[in-house]
Amino acid sequence: MKPVVYLNKKAHPTTRESFIALFYRKNETITRLIEQNDWIIYSRQLGAYCVPDTVKNLGFLLELFRDMAIINKQYLYRSTAITADNVVISGPVNPTRGLSLVKKVDTLMLLSKEVAGRPYFIIQYKPVNRVKEILNKIDWLRYGHKQKIFYFDASRGNLFRFVDELSDVFKIRIHHLIKIDDIEIRKILLEQSYLKHRRYKSCPAAYLKYMYNRNYAENTIETYHYYFLRFINAFPWLNILNINKFGAKEINRYHEMLKETEGGSSNKLNQSANAIKLYYREILNTDIELASVVRSKKEKTLPRVWSLEEIGRIIQQIDNLKHRTIISMIYSAGLRVGEVKNLKPEDILRNRMQVRIRQAKGKKDRYTILAKKTLELLEIYFREYRPAIYLFEGQFGGQYSTSSIRKVLREAVKKSKVQPYSGTHTLRHSFATHLLEAGTDLRYIQGLLGHSSSKTTEIYTHVSNVHLQTIKSPLDGIDF
């Protein structure tokens, strides 16, 4: 088993300068490795090897011990306002809204490239002077004057430094061909949108690692991570060790607060409860009376749908070929937004007039229909855009972003004056409803949508108004 090196934040007793101190059980191999690196010094005052507390040095330490030891950072990020690990939680624990978004300068896309047998990371961005000014100030980045690009050597340490230092300023996107298995880097990318104030708590790495190791869907990981991050940051005066001691009472109180302050839907509250219960059950392995964690009663609401005429008006407002093809594809095949993002050119089966959906919700494959008008759009789209990996790719390659698709639809709905506005899932609901109204058997609709249960599909029988239009009210038979 690998030795554990604990990183602790310490202030020098004389200068008050902040240091990262290294603590570990006696281990000659670890000591020899440290002494070979002269940038790590031994402090008699702190009684430990240490380095100045900077993001750069943290990245160096993680790289140095990567294959040698396990790095434990729980004491590095522990709030200085809490000094005891055995704080007794008594009385009501009232949560607050703990996450704040931070505005970014712009978006950076990281790509990989090999030159003369050596791997590099290339930074792509929109031609904005402000971006170049900021990148010019980072001394460890290189600049290729001929190609006019910033780049750096491809290594785990450099990648960590890049996302850790720049994610506070820029929105960092990673090209889909770059596979990242490092949990710490993944965690930074997931949390880059949030303001890291003094009491901010990052999601425990073990929680993310558990979900990745068990092959949870990417959307599920992002959803659970978001709700659990909100939960632990709703208690800014407590550290994660204190929150680990919570019971069902504190968790239920937190969800009551969400309901009171935000009017959260039952779906959101239940997702939050599931995310929190997963942590206490699988990571802490604690008896927290999980059965006592209250799940919100699900509202019985009907999905919103647009009429055929409204769908036509919305698509007519989209001039951009790629955007029009994406929205047409979602509606005509009844796709989820994540499914249209994952499509590849070979998933369009022209001869069979079908679309192949791979590893959708529930890790299931299925086929759905391909409309003739959508195929006509696709033929033009293929000739103009020539997609490489994914059917719909972003400006710098990789999957087209969910936020961009939603923005396209939102603007088209606004221009078409269709009311009320709903999201991309309304296109899917409309697809199912229109098939039902055209006389398609409910079992076939279930298969096209990829529903596991027929009960999920039956909801559209309550939305369709074809049969309702044939029913006359008894009042129409009364003379008055």
Q: 30 with 24: CB under 8 angstroms?
A: yes
Catalytic site includes residue 142: no
Q: What is the DSSP string of 166-219?
A: HTTTSEEEE-TTS----HHHHHHHHTTTB---TT--PPPHHHHHHHHHTT--HH
Catalytic residue among 361, 366, 385, 410: 361
Single-letter residue type at 67: D
Residues in a beta bridge with 20 = 9, 51
For 236-271, b where at least 16 C-beta lie within 10 A, e where not — what string?
bebbbebbbbbbbebbeebbebbeeeeebeeebbbb
Clarify whether 12 is annotated catalytic: no
Active site residue 187: no
Q: For residue 16, what are its two tokens? A: 């008050």
Q: State the DSSP H helix or E strand holding residue 226, giving kind and residue range, or none if neither.
A: helix 218-233
Q: Name the DSSP class of 98.
A: -
- If you search the block for the tokens 């590099």, which residue do you land on? 120
Which of 225, 336, 341, 434 is the catalytic position?
A: 336
**Catalytic: 460?**
yes
Known catalytic membership, residue 428 = yes
User: Which of 214, 285, 198, 187 has its CA nearest to residue 244?
Assistant: 285
* CA atoms of 102 and 104, how far apart (whole Å): 6
Q: Choose the catalytic residue: 73, 175, 434, 451.
A: 451
Give the integer Cα–Cα distance in Å for 429 and 336: 10
Q: Is 352 a catalytic residue?
A: no
19 beta partners: 10, 52
What contacts 231, CB < 8 A, 6 or more positions away?
Answer: 243, 251, 254, 272, 275, 276
Which residues belong to the active site?
336, 361, 425, 428, 451, 460
